[in-house]
Amino acid sequence: MKMKKTAQVLSFNLLACEAYSAAFALNEHSASGLGRAFSGEGAISDNAAVLARNPAAMTRFKQAEVAVVGTAIGPDISLEGTNNAGLDEDSIAPDALIPALYYILPLNKNFAVGAGAFSNFGLATEFPDDYPAGQLAGETKLTTINVNASAAYRFNHYLSLGLGVNLVYADATLIRHFGSNSYGITQETEAAKMTGDDIAYGYNVGVLYEINDNHRVSLTYRSQVDLTLTGDYSNELPPSFGGLAGESLAGELELTLPDIAELSGYHQLSNKVALHYSVQWTGWSSFERLEAYAQGIDSAVFEKDEYFENSLRSGVGISYNLEDVLTLRAGVAYDETPIEQAYRSISIPDSNRIWYSTGMTYHFKNASSFDLGMSFIKGEEAEFTETDDLGQAWQFTSNGDATLVSAQYNYRF
CATH number at residue 237: 2.40.160.60
pLDDT band at 346 (very low <50, low <70, confident <90, very high): confident
Residue 374 has a pLDDT of 98
> What average pLDDT does range 116-141 have in this prediction?
89
The single-letter code of the amino acid at 225 is: V
pLDDT tens for residues 18-61?
332 335 678 889 999 999 999 999 999 999 999 999 999 999 99
Residue 263 has a pLDDT of 98
Residue 305 has a pLDDT of 54
Residue 167 has a pLDDT of 98
Q: Which of 266-275, 298-307, 376-385, 400-409 comes out lowest in average pLDDT?
A: 298-307
In the three-class reduction of DSSP (H, G, I as helix; E, B as strand; rest coil), residue 336 is classed as coil
**What is the number of structural domains in the chain?**
1
Which residues does residue 267 pair with via DSSP β-bridges, in sequence order? 215, 275
**87 is in which domain, residue-wise?**
2-412
The single-letter code of the amino acid at 57 is: A
Question: Is pLDDT larger for residue 403 or for residue 255?
Answer: 403
Residue 82 has a pLDDT of 84
Nearest-angstrom CA–CA distance, 10 and 247: 13
pLDDT band at 342 (very low <50, low <70, confident <90, very high): confident
Rounded-to-5 percentages of helix, strand, coil across the chain: 15, 55, 30
E strands of 128-189, at which residues?
Answer: 139-154, 159-177
Question: Mean pLDDT across the chain, nearest whole number?
Answer: 87
Residue 409 has a pLDDT of 98
Q: 72, 75, 62: which is closest to 31 by C-alpha?
A: 72
Residue 20 has a pLDDT of 29
Residue 299 has a pLDDT of 62
Nearest-angstrom CA–CA distance, 123 and 188: 23
Indicate if the pLDDT at residue 85 is higher than 90.
no
Nearest-angstrom CA–CA distance, 127 and 84: 16
Question: Is pLDDT larger for residue 256 or for residue 14?
Answer: 256
pTM of the model: 0.90
